[in-house]
Amino acid sequence: MDSQLDLFANALSPTVEKAIAPAQSRSRRSQAVARSDDEMARKLEETGNYRILRRHVARPVAAVRRPEFSRVGVIVDTETTGLNHRNDEIIEIGAVAFTFNDDGAVGDIIGVYGGLQRPSKPIPPEITRLTGITDALVEGQFIDIQSLRRLIEPADLIIAHNAGFDRPFCDAFSTIFAGKAWACSVSEIDWSARGFEGTKLGYLVGQAGYFHEGHRAVDDCFALLEVLDQQRATEETPFSELYRASQRSRVRIFAEHSPFDMKDQLKARGYRWSDGSDGRPKSWWIELDEDDLSEELHYLRSDIYQWDEADPPTLHLTAFDRFRA
């Protein structure tokens, strides 16, 4: 029997070898290619010579809302025709609604809206270069207020990456944003303490290990949520820090009638100039945690006014007041 099998095998061996050799070669190639992209990325990163950025993939909208995440946050991003909310207009708005709990733990995505709108004037070329949004792209487009309202109305907190820019535009655009608490993921998170050297969204996303299609509203919202929900070692997430910060009261101090020759000293301390056109006192001003108010007033009285009875105007702010125009 063995000799018969050997003869049979020998008889077929030339044909079998021709058929098997390429198959074995393909198999070896397949095994080599079978190593996943993540594994290859890990191998490169382990050398210490490479940092791999992964394409950011948006989280899906949850089919069922989990009851343990009772609060709603909405990340909002706008693209506009310019920087002045009084003269310029929103041409795109993105909103991503998600759930979270009282500890600042993020739950699930529960809604997404993105819409374009044709402005009353042509889009400036520099805005098109920055955003990729052209007049042709927004022709005949209108933001669906009702769809946006369904996301905004239940929100406990609205988050923007530079809320001082987005909130005035949103307030001017629609009353659906009135009476909402806002938080700013630029100014209310200590990114430097977390090892970040900048606060621009593209930089934060990159250092978190991702890349994304920047300067389109919904993409930016999803990318920001990913960064906010990053957990590193024993640190709380950036979103948890942001949520706590949003619950604290702040105070704005106006160094009204401060001596002109003290302007450089005030600027170096972080004061900004208001020309009075927005209804604020015409003066240098700064915004601080309420806990720092006494120390700052002491500084102004001793170093700037040099008068113990000086009483510069103050304005106390909550998340419902902050970042307004």
CATH number of the domain encompassing residue 232: 3.30.420.10
Q: Global pTM?
A: 0.81
Domain boundary residue among 247, 271, 302?
A: 247
Pairing state between β 283-289 and 90-100: unpaired
**Which pLDDT score, from 0 to 100, does residue 23 have?**
55
Assess whether 209 and 130 both reside in one domain.
Answer: yes
What is the residue range of 289's domain?
Answer: 250-317
pLDDT tens, position by position, 14-23: 544 454 455 5
Assess whether 254 and 138 both reside in one domain.
Answer: no
Q: In this structure, are residues 122 and 135 in contact, taking their beta carbons and an 8 Å threshold?
A: yes
Assess whether 232 and 260 both reside in one domain.
Answer: no
Assess whether 280 and 260 both reside in one domain.
Answer: yes
Assess whether 145 and 192 both reside in one domain.
Answer: yes
Residues in the chain with pLDDT values less than 70: 1-35, 234
Handedness of CA 171, 173, 177, 179 (dihedral sign): positive
In a domain, 35, yes or no: no
Assess whether 98 and 159 both reside in one domain.
Answer: yes
3-state helix, strand, coil in the chain (%, to 5): 40, 20, 40
In whole angstroms, what is the distance from residue 136 CA to residue 152 CA? 28
Assess whether 202 and 272 both reside in one domain.
Answer: no
In whole angstroms, what is the distance from residue 5 CA to residue 8 CA? 5
In a domain, 157, yes or no: yes
How many C-beta neighbours within 10 Å does residue 295 have?
Answer: 9
Q: Which two tokens stand for residue 194?
A: 């977390």
How many C-beta neighbours within 10 Å does residue 86 have?
Answer: 10
In whole angstroms, what is the distance from residue 240 CA to residue 45 CA? 29
In a domain, 33, yes or no: no
**Which pLDDT score, from 0 to 100, does residue 8 have?**
35
Q: In this structure, are residues 50 and 68 in contact, taking their beta carbons and an 8 Å threshold?
A: no
**Which pLDDT score, from 0 to 100, does residue 30 have?**
52
In whole angstroms, what is the distance from residue 239 CA to residue 105 CA? 8
Pairing state between β 250-255 and 157-160: unpaired
In a domain, 325, yes or no: no
Assess whether 292 and 149 both reside in one domain.
Answer: no
Please enumerate in sequence order all residues whose Cβ is within 8 A of that of 152, keeping only pairs 6 or more positions apart, or say none. 74, 95, 158, 176, 177, 180
Please enumerate in sequence order all residues whose Cβ is within 8 A of that of 137, keeping only pairs 6 or more positions apart, or say none. 116
**Which pLDDT score, from 0 to 100, does residue 2 have?**
44
Domains: count for the chain: 2
**Which pLDDT score, from 0 to 100, does residue 216 have?**
85
Assess whether 127 and 210 both reside in one domain.
Answer: yes
Domain boundary residue among 247, 274, 307?
A: 247
Handedness of CA 191, 192, 195, 200 (dihedral sign): positive
Helix or strand run (H / E) with residue 75: strand 71-80
In whole angstroms, what is the distance from residue 22 CA to residue 14 CA? 13
In a domain, 119, yes or no: yes
**Which pLDDT score, from 0 to 100, does residue 250 have?**
94
**Which pLDDT score, from 0 to 100, does residue 1 have?**
45
**Which pLDDT score, from 0 to 100, does residue 83 have?**
95
